[in-house]
Structures are given as C-alpha cells and as structure tokens.
Chains A and B, each alone.
Chain A
C-alpha cells in the first residue's frame, strides 16, 4: 500500500498571534509551529493502513519554506518512510495554487491513497484536498471519521448534521481526515533518532500565479468587560431584563 500524506506547518493553535507590519501576515517571531492538527489524524491513518497491509510506503509531502523540513521530520519520527518538501518562499493563500503544485508531485507517484487533514487550522480553507482530487481526477471523500479498506474499494463514514453518511469509493482516492478518525501516536524517542536517517527530497514547488491574495488580517476585537448587575436573588429580575433587552439572548 503506497500512501501519500500532505501536511502543513501551521502556528501552534495556542500561540498568541500578532499581526506583522504589512498588516496581511502574522509576525512569526517567537511563534511555535506545529503540524496542522487535522493532518496528524491523516498521518496516523496512513501509518496504520501501511502496517495493516503488511508493507508499503508512507510518503509525507509538505509545501512551504525550509522550516517545513522539521515538520516533515516529526512525521518521519512517527513512522513515515520518507519526505518531500516542495519548496516555496511562503505558503500561498491561493488554495488552488497549492493544490496544483501538490497534484503535480502526486500525479505519477502511484499512490493508492492520498490523505489530507480536512482543513488547515491557520486558514480554514477546507480546499486543498478536494482540489487535488479534482486535478488528479480521483474520487474524494472529505472529513472522514471512519475508514474501512478492502480490495480496491473503501468505505468511509462522515459525520454530517444530525447523522452519519456512509460513502463507498474506489481506490486510488483522496481522503481528508476529521478529528477523531483515530488517536495519533506519540513519536517514540527511537523514532526521533531514526528520522534523522530517513530521506527528505527537496525540490521547488511548481507554483503558478497566485490568483487569490490576503489583503489584510485583523485580530478579533477585545471582549468588553463584564458587568455585575447585583447580588443574590434580588439581582435576577434585572439580569433577565438585560439578557432580554441588551444581550437579546432570551
């Protein structure tokens, strides 16, 4: 079983974000970067599938600056076999540009499965996975929470509003992972040492022209300070009145 997992390096979801001087990107000084949390589920699924199939290869692919190598290596430490960094000065905001570069890399790879996280935690696009599927003309199931594979076929479950959707598809296919698909493993310390010796191929990303750009970024407004309307049972009528008239939640 040959599986590709496409991963993105994103700011730690718990870092405090500051906007950079250009007003359209984040200031990266002191920001800790991690693998996109949804991609971790994709990685874990790929590793489990490979091991269950009793062999094959898990190739991890990232697009972006050099620092992406560290993210790739963290996945090699979890057990992936080799990495590819499609080098670009920065990760374009244009999902289609990213998808085209990834598709060009994946096209002749002979992969049975191409896995993504359902979205990137930094841009919320949800776009790159399905776009790659489209470009490769492969079936695509997004936000899967369960997966069964047998023969040349797969069955995936998606949690949709109020229920579960079961989707059958033919391999090769592109899948994007939802939280809860599995429990991602910790890289064992031996894995971290072994990752040093695994190959990472670095080549320029075939990025076309970016046709969508971010023009500005802003932080959410500060929350207004709370107000104490009184104490004890006496305060209840006033509280109810304000919830009705001001907050309009009742």
Chain B
C-alpha cells in the first residue's frame, strides 16, 4: 500500500488555515487515501466513474459544500471548499470533476437562480447524492463561444419545449437532472439564454457516452440530445438571464479547479520525490543527480506559488471580492503548472512512469482535459488580456 499522503507545504501555508479548514482538508485527504486511491486505477483503465463512492462522498458532505446548511449542505467557506477540491484531485481529476459539476455547476445555479421551491426540491437530494446532476452548455459547434449556441427553448401551452444538442457533458449519462442552457429568443441574441432544470427521464431527452477518451477516463462524459423535450413552466430557473448566468457558474467551478490542480500537482510531486529517493541508478539514488533535483525543485516552487495564489483567491472570495478575472488567472496558472509537473514527474519515473500503477501519467492525461474545459488556457489568456489592456481580442 502506498504511504499516507502528508501534503506538500514548504511555506507552512497550513498555518494560514483555520483549525476547521485543516480538519476538512485532513478528512478528505484520508478518505482519498483509504477509499479512492485503492480503486482508481481499475476504474481508469476500464473507463468507468467510481459511482459506488458517491454515497460516501455525500455522507462526508462533499457536494455543494459551500452552500448553506438549510439545504442540507455543509455551509463551509470557500477556502475549505477549495481544500476539498485539492484533495479530491490529488486522487483523480475525474472524481474532482464529478464533485465540481454536482456542486458548482448544478447545485450552485439552482441556489443562485432557482426559486425557493426549486432549491428545496433539488438541493437536499443533491447534497445527499440521491440525485446526480449535469450541466449542459457546450454544443458540438459552440465550445469556447457558448454564446453562439443553437439549442432553443420555446414557450408553449403550459410550459417550454427544448430542442438541441449538447456535447462533452460530464455526468451526462449518470445524471437524474440536467441544467440545460438554451436560447428563448433569436439565435443571434445571447441575452436570451436561460437555464432549465430538466429531469433526464423526460421524453425526448437522451444521453450517449462519448467513447474513446484517453483522458479523464474515470469520468462520464456524454452527448445529450433534446428532441421536443416538453417541460412545465417551473422548469425555468427564474433568476437566470443571459450568458452571464452560465458564466457565473463556470466561475464557481473554475475556482475549485484552480485548487484541484494544486492537488494533482502535489500528488505527482510526492510520487516523484519518493521514487527519486528510492530508485538507484549509477550506484546512487536518482534524487542525488542535479538534473532530477532541479526537476523536483521546480515542482516544489510552482506548487508553493500556486498554493498561496489559491489561498488568497479563496480569502477574497469569502469577502465577496474575487473577480472572475482573478479566477481566470488562477485556473490558467495552476492547471498549466500542474500539466508541467505531471509531465516532469512522469519523465522522472522513467519506464515506470507510463504505468497505471503510478499516478503521474493518469494525472498527465487527465489534466489535458482540465486544461481545455472550463475555458481553455487560451481563452483565459484572452480574458486576462482584455482585462489589463481594455481591448478585447475576441468577440
């Protein structure tokens, strides 16, 4: 069995956390060691999400953990929430993705844009894991530019009729409920985008697993088709208005991803360091060669910076002062550094680095999805470019 993970904390960042925040981190950390890591390889190789872990995750309170207790959630602050994402992604990005989608992309919009009745109907069941959700924004022809979407919602007698297709939808085939974003007005009118709560057993709704993924294999990614899906009036999220509504969900999820990337990087660094100390070549541990030391030092430096970055972002978010652009910077920086670290860790491990028995290559492959989803690295560059120059390079 792998030794217990003790964290990567060169700057005593732990001392900047409250006792409760540390307790949350340690609880999830231990759960990942005990329950997730022993099964993740098999699931990854078979291309299956470890659905059997959902009740345990729910019991711990991992879903929508920063939403209020009155809806059955844990009511944590954003730093504690971030630490959950960090620890989950140290296990696997697919499992962290599951929690991100459930909490930040489905529970969050129901909480932020839903009616009190919708909140009461869905949030407790989602916190308890009884209902799994998915978030349908991306379409086959509209990825980085979701405002161009062609899925429509038309008012009809007593409700709405939805038509369209969504692609790359995490949890799509597993979900009991989907948040679907669709245009209620003209196709060139992004301000008519609204969110709908769609039970996945509604006639006309179908989901199909996206085959052939070489990344995020322990995660369900599906295509959704909506063909004359008839919904009641109460399916509409009344508070959702225009593209900024789904984008604000993405800001929530990206915030968690910025933390998650730190976890994946920590897992890779920890593994690489252990391996380097124990693998003997040319008569001494490879950790004793300058090239490998440099690799490890670069990893540690990047992790330390990233760690401080997300912590301050979390503190700002708890004060209600984090801007979407600040979240973009953290997602962009941290996922990129995690990709680099995973690749370097894999290389340090030599041939063993390509095996599922070690985590580096799994993280490396996973992080390629994380690099692309929730706004590609490039899109965050453009968002930040616009922010600092005042000149938009897109749209």
Q: Which A residues form the contact surface with B (CB < 8 A)? A: 12, 14, 32, 70, 73-74, 77, 186-190, 192-193, 195-196
CB distance from B95 to the nearest CB of A (A): 16
Given contacts A70-B19, A73-B19, contact A187 B6 (CB under 8 A): no
Contacts of A73 in B (CB 8 A): 19, 23
User: Closest CB of chain B to A236's CB: distance in Å?
Assistant: 25
The reply to whether B61 and A189 form a contact with Cβ atoms under 8 Å apart is yes
Given contacts A186-B27, A188-B59, contact A193 B74 (CB under 8 A): yes
Which A residues are CB-close (under 8 A) to B6? 12, 14, 32
- Residues of B close to A190: CB separation below 8 A: 61, 69, 74-75
- Min Cβ gap A16→B in Å is 10
Question: Which chain B residues lie closer than 8 Å to A70 at the CB level?
Answer: 19
B30 sits at the interface (CB 8 A) = yes
Q: Which residue of A lies closest to B18 (CB)?
A: A196
Whole-angstrom CA separation of A104 from B84 in the bound complex: 41
Q: How far is the CB of A65 from chain B (nearest CB, A)?
A: 15
Q: Do residues B4 and A14 form an inter-chain contact, with CB atoms below 8 A?
A: yes
For chain B, residues 46 to 94, give those with C-beta under 8 angstroms from any C-beta of chain A. Answer: 59-62, 65, 69, 74-76, 80, 84
Partner of A196, one of B20, B59, B84: B20
> Please, how many angstroms separate the alpha-carbon atoms of A197 and B80 in the complex?
18
Check B3–A189 contact: CB distance below 8 A.
no
A-B CB contact pairs (8 Å), 27 listed: A12-B6, A14-B4, A14-B6, A32-B6, A70-B19, A73-B19, A74-B23, A186-B30, A186-B31, A186-B60, A187-B23, A187-B27, A188-B59, A188-B74, A189-B24, A189-B65, A189-B80, A190-B61, A190-B74, A192-B20, A192-B24, A192-B27, A193-B20, A193-B69, A193-B75, A193-B76, A195-B20
**A-chain residues with CB within 8 Å of residue B75 when the two chains form the complex:** 190, 193
B24 cross-chain contacts in A, Cβ below 8 A: 189, 192
Q: Mark B1-44, 1 if CB is under 8 A from A, else 0.
A: 00110100000000000011001100100110000000000000
Give the distance to chain B from A140, nearest Cβ to Cβ, in Å: 31
Which chain A residue shows the least CB distance to B61?
Answer: A189
Smallest CB gap from A15: residue in B: B6
Contact with A along B148-180 (1 / 0, CB 8 A): 000000000000000000000000000000000
Interface residues in chain B, defined as those with a beta carbon under 8 Å from any beta carbon in chain A? 3-4, 6, 19-20, 23-24, 27, 30-31, 59-62, 65, 69, 74-76, 80, 84
- CB atoms of B69 and A77 under 8 A apart: no
Is the beta-carbon distance between A188 and B3 smaller than 8 angstroms? no
**Interface SS, A side:** helix
Q: Shortest Cβ distance from B12 into chain A, in angstroms?
A: 9
User: CB-CB < 8 A to B84: which residues of A?
Assistant: 189
Q: A14-B6, A196-B20 are in contact. List 20 more A-B contacts (CB 8 A).
A: A32-B6, A70-B19, A77-B23, A186-B27, A186-B31, A186-B60, A188-B59, A188-B61, A188-B74, A189-B27, A189-B74, A189-B80, A190-B69, A190-B74, A192-B24, A192-B27, A193-B69, A193-B74, A193-B76, A195-B20
B74 / chain A contacts, CB cutoff of 8 Å: 188-190, 193
Residues in A neighbouring B4, C-beta threshold 8 A:
14
Complex CA–CA separation, A196 to B19 (angstroms): 9
CA of A187 to CA of B61, assembled, Å: 10
Nearest-CB residue, chain B, relative to A14? B4
A189–B88 Cα gap in the complex (Å)? Answer: 14
Sorted from nearest, which 3 A-B pairs have the closest CB atoms?
A: A189-B61, A189-B74, A192-B23
Smallest Cβ-Cβ distance to B21: which chain A residue = A192
A189 to B66, CA, bound (A): 11
Bound-state CA distance A195–B27 (Å) is 14
How long is the Cα–Cα vector from A70 to B18 in the complex, in angstroms? Answer: 11
- A189 touching B19 in the complex, CB below 8 Å, given contacts A14-B4, A14-B6, A32-B6: no
User: For residue A69, which residue of chain B has the nearest CB?
Assistant: B19
Separation of A32 and B14 alpha carbons in the complex (Å)? 12
Residues of A with C-beta under 8 A to B60: 186, 188-189
- A189 shortest CB reach to chain B, Å: 4
Centre residue among B4, B27, B62 by max chain A CB count within 10 A: B27
Most buried by B among A12, A73, A188: A188
Q: How far is the CB of B23 from chain A (nearest CB, A)?
A: 5
Q: Which residues of B contact A14 (CB under 8 A)?
A: 3-4, 6
Q: A187 to B59, alpha carbons, bound, how many Å?
A: 9
Given the complex of chains A and B, what is the CA–CA distance between A70 and B14 in angstroms? 14
Q: How far is the CA of A32 from the CA of B24 in the complex (A)?
A: 16
CB distance from A14 to the nearest CB of B (A): 5
A11 to chain B, nearest CB (A): 12
Given the known inter-chain contacts A14-B4, A32-B6, A70-B19, please indicate yes or no for A189 contacting B76, CB distance below 8 A: yes
Expressed in whole angstroms, the minimum distance between the Cβ of A20 and any Cβ of chain B is 20
Complex Cα–Cα for A77 and B20 (A) = 10
A12: min CB distance to chain B, Å: 8
Task: Enumerate chain B residues within 8 angstroms of A196, measured Cβ to Cβ.
Answer: 20
A12 to chain B: which residues have CB within 8 Å?
6
From B75, which residue of chain A is reached at the shortest CB distance? A193
Bound-state CA distance A137–B76 (Å) is 45
Kindly list chain A residues whose C-beta atoms are within 8 Å of the C-beta of B61: 188-190
B160: shortest Cβ distance to chain A, in Å?
36
How far does the alpha carbon of A188 sit from the alpha carbon of B74 in the complex, in Å? 9
Least CB separation from B77: chain A residue: A193
In the bound complex, residues from chain A placing their C-beta under 8 Å from that of B23 are: 73-74, 77, 187, 192, 195
A192, A195, A196, most chain B CB atoms within 10 A: A192
Question: In chain A, what residue has the closest Cβ to B20?
Answer: A192
Q: Which residues of A contact B30 (CB under 8 A)?
A: 186
B31–A189 contact, CB under 8 A? Answer: no
- Nearest Cβ distance between residue A136 and chain B, in whole angstroms? 32
